Amino acid sequence: MTLEILTSDSLAPLPHGFFTRRGGASSGIFHGLNCGPGSSDLNEAVTLNRKRAAAALDVMPEELVTLHQVHSADVVAVEAALPVPRPQADALVTATEGLALGVLTADCQPVLFADRSAGVIGAAHAGWRGALDGVLEATLDAMEALGADRADTVAVIGPTISQRAYEVGPEFLEDFMAEDPGYARFFAQGDGDRLLFDLPGFGLHRLREAGIGAAEWTRHCTYSDPARFFSYRRSVHDGAADYGRLLSAIRL
């Protein structure tokens, strides 16, 4: 099966893609294009999946750069392929042609950035913790340190969990209210004391408040489409032992 790669006109003509799970070599609960070396999938399958993704971006496998993600607001500026073990951080930026920056997700937001006129790109893994702590703003800061202008920068949020599938408890709301009471607007009432959190809406808000030129979400929900996307939350609800990781990447 060929790879399925979602793209955005906003990032064109830069090579980029939000890869779905279709077209990979993994099997079982990881069936498809699982690109997460941190999963319990076979190393050989993950390596082959990453090679296929790198080829789709027209780079060598080692030029597809990813991180050891830890739900932080830390950003790494990249000039060459990174050593293994990979640095612990949740966003990358570069002005080096020929490098592809990638993030791995399974409900969290994958965010691809580009200032095409300056020749600077970025990629961020933004779950609720990272987004609240400022990983998106930190990515824009790091891009500007390489010569980008946030007013000329575009960001696209790829497949992520949508509000209708993201049920949380009242203690979750408290973390946001402690930061800004206005964040209550990203929560809707669920059953009982449960709430529904709008992660991509929150991500778009943080990007726009940071002064980005343009930001959008592809409007794909990872939880609601098991044929195309891996989902951590769905794996928990299904009682699965592990889950695959989706790759999103952009190249200069």
Helix axes 135-145, 199-209, angle to 10 degrees: 40
Q: Give me the mean pLDDT over the 109-135 stretch.
A: 98
Tell me the percentage of the chain whose pLDDT exceeds 90.
Answer: 98
Looking only at the bridges linking them, the beta strands covering 100-105 and 154-157 are: unpaired
pLDDT of residue 54: 98
pLDDT of residue 245: 98
Q: Give me the mean pLDDT over the 226-249 stretch.
A: 97
pLDDT of residue 1: 67
Sign for the pseudo-dihedral over CA of 69, 219, 216, 20: positive
pLDDT category of residue 202 using cuts at 50, 70 and 90 = very high
> Could you please report the per-residue DSSP string of 80-116?
SPPPSSPPB-SEEEE--TT-EEEEEESSSEEEEEEET
- At 5-63, the pLDDT tens digits run 999 999 999 999 999 999 999 999 999 999 999 999 999 999 999 999 999 999 999 99
Residues 177, 112 contacting (CB under 8 angstroms): no
pLDDT of residue 175: 95
3-state SS of the chain: helix, strand, coil percent to 5? 30, 25, 45
Between CA 201 and CA 156 the distance in angstroms is 12
pLDDT category of residue 83 using cuts at 50, 70 and 90 = confident
> Which residue has 């575009």 as its token pair?
154
97 has a pLDDT exceeding 80: yes
Domains of the chain: 5-162+198-251 (3.60.140.10)
Instruction: Tell if the pTM clears 0.85, that is, is over it.
Output: yes
